[in-house]
Structure 1
Amino acid sequence: MQCADAISSRAVIIDTEAVAAPREHQKRVLRNEGDPEQSVEEMLTHEFRHLFMAEKIVAVNKKDAEILKENGFPNVGVLGHMQKALPHSPGWDARRDILFLGAMHDIDSPNVDSLAWFSSQVLPLLDGRLPDDVKFTVCGYINPKVDLKPLTKNPRVNLLGRVPDVGPVYDRHRIFVAPTRFAAGIPYKIHEAAAHGLPIVASSILCEQVGWTPGEDMLSVSTTDPQAFADAIVRLYEDKVLWESIREHELARMRDDHSHQKYLEQLKALLSF
């Protein structure tokens, strides 16, 4: 970056991938780690220190774009990703069980943290409220260094691991849970589950990231309230009318916000100087 002055600014577009400071701050607060005196604002200043050279800056969602603008970078565009809503997928009656999907690359990852919180704080609260044979499926790559065997002691847990095709997994489950407690960028699994017509109960952090309407596009709950999270799961799992309403709204989100045409429009806007 010491040669930044020699670079023509009109030739540079910087893709931020994700604004990381809020995620790192959330993690520090949860775990009482890092410098307690360092604010999010200070972390953002450090993260954005090289962006002065860019003619345009790419953010992955509106939330990140707003953060960049608030920190003095008005030259921001949004480019998310394409996600095609499936025209047909199984309905409420043909589905069963609860799905958690995400890669477990290391013990410090958001997925491992959220799974640990959910399995210890929320899953026990479903006993006596959902039938015992309603399973909680955990799907996704598991690094051998990440030990999830203790989860299997709970008879409700189905530790599926990595599969060659996630489509059939999405299609046979009734609801999707994403209890993420710290995150940045695009929660791709939210969009993928929605595209498969699978209604979602997610943390308020993820709902804010995707910019959806709580109670309409998904059920959104703070991860500071395990009881409320359990209540939302039971409600969505058992209420067919609510389930179908959430499903229709999230499929509409996919069609309106993540179509091929929408993506091209965003890309053209970024490349127009």
Structure 2
Amino acid sequence: MDIALIGIGKIAIDQHVPAIAASPDFSLAATVSRHGRVEGVESFTEIAELLAARDDIRVVSLCLPPVPRFEAAAKAIRAGRHVMLEKPPGATLAECHALIKLAKEHKVCLFATWHSREADKVALAKAWLADKRLTSLQVTWKEDVRRWHPGQDWIWEPGGMGVFDPGINALSIVTEILPDDIHLTEATLDVPANRQTPIGAELSFYHPQGARVGAIFDWRQEGEQIWTIEAVTDQGTLTLLDGGARIQIDGVEDAVKDENPLAGEYPRLYARMARLLSTGGIDMDLRPMIHVCDALALGRRNSVAPFIE
């Protein structure tokens, strides 16, 4: 199937373009971007131009920042195109629900992707936790914003989510691997004096079985980057490391190792999109987005030092 990629920035070039190139299901037929291009691929500057000129392209993958994403997705759906959304699926929950309603009306597929759920050991973690009683779960997600988001000022503006841009990856894993749903009870947000979105956050959650569940997100991390989820249960301790690429049970590393365990995330997303197209329907799990919105609503804000890139 021909597919169009909307928004040619860092994530598109680093992940989506190689994943599509390796896909047995899709061929990159066009792009839409005001600045970015993919060599050898037809390009447009506005999505309306693509939709008018290439009626043969029935699937679009949106890699735009969250704020402009809704308008582009709505145009594509109204034009009868199937839509794949980079995370987060929108800037607000209302937008996400509006897209679901629109997709149902136009009978097209809609897929909110959570790439971290496709990390190598996430499925194994989910299976291991399925029959165990959780005592506590702690997320530690610390990285250097200068390394991973250079020059991306949109993340500091309203709707950009700040540290929740990576933090929502952790929340997408947590909501995938836990047998029980959780919800936020309190949050503390560190917001730079010169920015609109947080650079750090600490979250606490309610768990229906009484387990202690918390998360720490920080974008000021220097040196080692940390993406860890530790789950203590009545039958041992599970630790996901490196964003789900590695797993330990009671400190023992899983013996089966992938040469490049994170490389499969986006290829697996495109394979899932292909399956969704074959069966029809909508795949829009909004639980990670709900946690972020709750944190922004309930969070106590601390003003911290200005962030200067």
Q: Indicate the TM-score class for this superposition, using the shorter chain for normalisation.
A: 0.3 to 0.5
Q: TM-score, normalised by structure 1?
A: 0.37
Normalized per residue, the structure richer in helix is 1
